[in-house]
Amino acid sequence: MLATAGVIFFIAVCAIVVGGAIYRRQSSKCRSTRRLKGKTIIVTGGSSGIGLATAEDLARRGARVILACRNAAKANQVAHGIRERTGNAEVQVRDLDTSDFDSVRKFAKEFKETEGRLDVLINNAGVGIPEKRLSKQGFELTLATNHYGHFLLTNLLVDVLRASAPSRVVTVSSLVHKYCSKADLEDLNFDKTPYAVFPAYALSKLCNILFTKEIARKLQGTGVVANCLHPGVVATGLLNKENTWLGALLTFLLGVIGKSRDDGAQTSIYLAVAEEAQHMSGKYFVDCKESSCCKLAEDEGLAKKLWEVSERDVKLQPGEIFY
C-alpha cells in the first residue's frame, strides 16, 4: 500500500513539474522595443512581484517610473536597485495604500502638484486576504485594495491622463474572475455571504474587468485607452502576504508550475508600450493577446451598476466626475 502511494505521489510530482515547464515555454513575451524617454508611468504595488518586473522593464526603456506603494522603506530599496540595474535615475517612490481612500486622495493630490504628465497608469497592486478584514473606511479589504482604490485613483487622475493623451490605463485582473458565478452588488462586503478568500479574490478581479470596460466606454474619443489582463499563473508572494501555512504552500506550488515574475509582467508591459495597444480599449488580454472573459464580465448593465456603486462607496465628488 505504501509503495503504491509512493508511486502515485512520484507520478503526480513529475506531472506537475513537466506541466509547469510546458506552461512556461508557451508563455508569450512583449516584442516591442519602444523607448519611453519623456514618458511618466505609475505602477501601483511596484515594489514586488510582477509590479517590480514591470517597473524595471519600463525604467530600462527610459521612462520616469513612480512606484506607488504602501511600504515606502521597502519600495525605496527596490527603487535604488532598479536605478542601479537600469542606469535610469528617474525611478521615484510615493506612498500609496490603495485600500485607504484617504491615502489615494493624498497621492493623487501630490502627484498633480509635482508632475506635469501621466502617460500610463498601471493598476497592479493586489491582495488575497485569508480571513475577512475591513479597510479603514469599512470595506472588505480585498475589494478595497484590488478594486475600490484603483477605481478612485484612476478617476482622480483622468484629467492628467487626458491632458497627456495618447495615454493608457492598464489594470491587472486574473483568469480567476471566471470562477465568480455571481456578483451581488448589494453584498460586496460579504455581510450576507460567508467570506472565503477565493470567492473574494475572484469577485475583485471580476470588478477589475467590469471597471475597465466601463471606463473605456466613458473615455471613448479622448485618446485615453483602458485595458486589463491576466498575467498568468505567476510565482509571486501575493498569496502569502499574511504569512500563513496555506499561503506558503500555494506560493511553493506556484513556484513549481508558474511563470517567473518577469514572464508574468509581459502582458502588463505589452499593454503599456506596444504601439498597437494604443488603438484598443475595453479589452482583456492573456499572453499579450486579446482573449475572452466570462459572460458576467461582458455584462454592460452590471458594469454600469458597479460604477454607480463604486462612485457612491468611494464618495466621488461632483468635481471629480470626468464624464
201 assigned to active site: yes
Sheet-wide strand order for 64-69: 91-95, 64-69, 40-44, 120-123, 167-172, 224-230, 284-286, 289-291
Q: How far apart are CA 59 and CA 273, in angstroms?
A: 12
CA distances from 121 to 131, 143, 226, 254, 282 (A): 30, 19, 9, 27, 15
- Tell me the three cell numbers of residue 146: 484590488
CB-CB neighbours of 1 under 10 Å: 5
Query: Which DSSP category does 254 fall into?
Result: H
> By the 8 A CB rule, do 315 and 101 touch?
yes
By DSSP bridging, strand 167-172 and strand 120-123 are parallel
d(CA 34, CA 11): 44
Q: Of the residues 148, 179, 195, 201, which is catalytic? A: 201
One-character DSSP codes across 102-127: HHHHHHHHHHHHH-S--SEEEE----
Residues designated as active site: 201
